[in-house]
Structure 1
């Protein structure tokens, strides 16, 4: 699967979410659990829900208790998102495990899954910027400004898809090698976060 195909899955997830446009809508993943498409769809669904949680929590008139609840939902979502990215990287590690790595092979600044993470977020930016660029109740100036931003995002999408495909080709050819570091987040760990540790 190339990056453009993955992007199409992200677009489907975003479109499916906006059928109801509710953060508590249960995911209905259309892909087989053994298929990488299932992981990409699930990954983007997490991102899409979190996108809307981030919108909600920025309401200046939000109730403090509601804001706290949503902040904790965002924290939990971030952890799930990170776990999902690492799981997707495990797929790529297994995919390229038998590749003969060249002696002069180089390491990349980010893993494939984190590159796809950026593409997933970019798909959300494009979807919502397109909404703003065509919003009937907005001013002409607003729509024009958003259309210019949309064109930049679309160019970025093209470049990022190309870069991801080239990265995967480098892995396949042994020109680069994968090395994945776990995120080792500390603030959710009872033993590493001093505030949580003090409450044990």
Structure 2
């Protein structure tokens, strides 16, 4: 099942990041360019680094200049994340391009890659919630609360994985079809963002 395959790569990326646990560490993708594994690993690495950017920027003692620099990094990361999702959807469009679409086929509310994007974020939530469950310095109440949250996250993983695999199965069988809309982010575009346009 594709969801299990993707989740394994996500956890590999998360584990590798946490060997150093440093947002500025060098990124090395172990998978060849052009392979879906390469895209999935890169996608989760972006999510993992951004997760920690979001932690850092919430430091109440962060200096304004540092916070602004970090906000710029988060913006760039969001753009990279969107680009990667679109690359992953391109992979599925190519994979299923020869499928005969049934007359009564329907479109899904989101594309396969955006569902996989949610699975990548969910892998991060599970990793960090499990960390909280295993904290030695936390109160028993904290651990109990986090265990309950972890159980919900694991159930969500099961449901989301099943939904992703069902969607791909339906696309492969022509029961659903893909129609991908580019995100058309406006805030990074010098022609679409009036603030950036005015600085040209």
Q: Report 1:68-107 matches (<5 A).
A: 68-107=68-107
* Residue of structure 1 in register with 2:174 after alignment: 174
Tell me the CA shift for residue 26 of structure 1: 1.3
* Residue of structure 2 in register with 1:35 after alignment: 35
The CA distance in 2 between the partners of 1:26 and 1:113, in whole Å, is 26
* Residue of structure 2 in register with 1:153 after alignment: 153
The CA distance in 2 between the partners of 1:5 and 1:144, in whole Å, is 31
Q: Which runs of 5+ in 2 are unaligned?
A: none
CA root-mean-square deviation: 0.7
Tell me the CA shift for residue 33 of structure 1: 1.6
The CA distance in 2 between the partners of 1:66 and 1:32, in whole Å, is 35
Tell me the CA shift for residue 34 of structure 1: 2.8
The CA distance in 2 between the partners of 1:20 and 1:192, in whole Å, is 39
* Residue of structure 2 in register with 1:135 after alignment: 135
The CA distance in 2 between the partners of 1:80 and 1:32, in whole Å, is 19
TM-score, normalising length from structure 1? Answer: 0.99
Tell me the CA shift for residue 30 of structure 1: 1.3
For 1:154, what is the secondary structure of its paired residue?
helix
Q: Which runs of 5+ in 1 are unaligned?
A: none
Tell me the CA shift for residue 5 of structure 1: 1.2
Tell me the CA shift for residue 136 of structure 1: 0.4
Aligned residues: 200
Q: Report 1:44-63 matches (<5 A).
A: 44-63=44-63
